[in-house]
Structure 1
Amino acid sequence: TLCFDLALDYRTATRVALAASETARPGSVKAAVGLFQALGKNVSVIDDIPGLIVARTVAMLVDFAADALGRCVAEAHDIDTAMRKGVNYPRGPLEWGGELGPEWVRRVLENLHAAYPTGRYAPSPLLVRRAAARRDLL
């Protein structure tokens, strides 16, 4: 099995991160690297860790934003604007969470929480409710 990490826009991404399972054949990894290089992408082969890198980071950011929204710390638009303007993110975390879907974010976090049961990756209550109701975060 080979996985590739989340990208904001796969068409315009200049780099792709690939993770191979322990049972992946070296020839398969080489072929996958070659495929992405033929598409003009730089390729990083990373360890197969839960959540990979970008997917884990984005899921956590979306969850923190959902938690702030659920606690009435700020309105959704204000959270996204603060992250775009203050941290220079290309999208606000709630906007990106809306594109990925709260079910996807919850699933990533629950899988991380199963792998690392410290509570760090436990999804926020608002995210869980919105995912169960199949409702967007915005």
Structure 2
Amino acid sequence: MKHNNDAISTLEQICLDCKNYQTVHCVKWKCNIGFALDALNLTPKNGLTIIKDGLQLIPKDDMKHYDRLMAARCIAAICKTCKQCMKGHNENCNISLARRSIESIVLKEIIDYPGNILTYIVKVAEQDQDFADLIQKEIL
């Protein structure tokens, strides 16, 4: 639960830094950060939530620029949350959906989480070595 809270705190900080925060232009369901924040807030104590067809809900038109370090910090916390889950991996769980939403900010192609953080970092590095390095530093 600690890592989930870390991810939520990072996402909230990104929101605070956004020029649209608390304006009429702040539309959570159109924003990758807002979507990830809502998804992680669905995490019940010691569990996860499966969202049917959740992959289709991830915003695809969010073109705002986000801080890569903050995105890496958030993905690292989400990966740690995923690792601690022990419920069996499902790409439509709220944790995976949050990770995928944040990935789409930086990466051209979404990565299937293989269940292992190091293997995941290798897959990220195939698209963006610098971003993979940021995630790895945050995980360590």
TM-score for the superposition, normalised by structure 1: 0.29
TM-score for the superposition, normalised by structure 2: 0.29
> Relative CO higher for 1 or 2, CA cutoff 8 Å, sep ≥ 6?
2
Q: Rg larger in 1 or in 2? A: 1
Higher relative strand content: 1
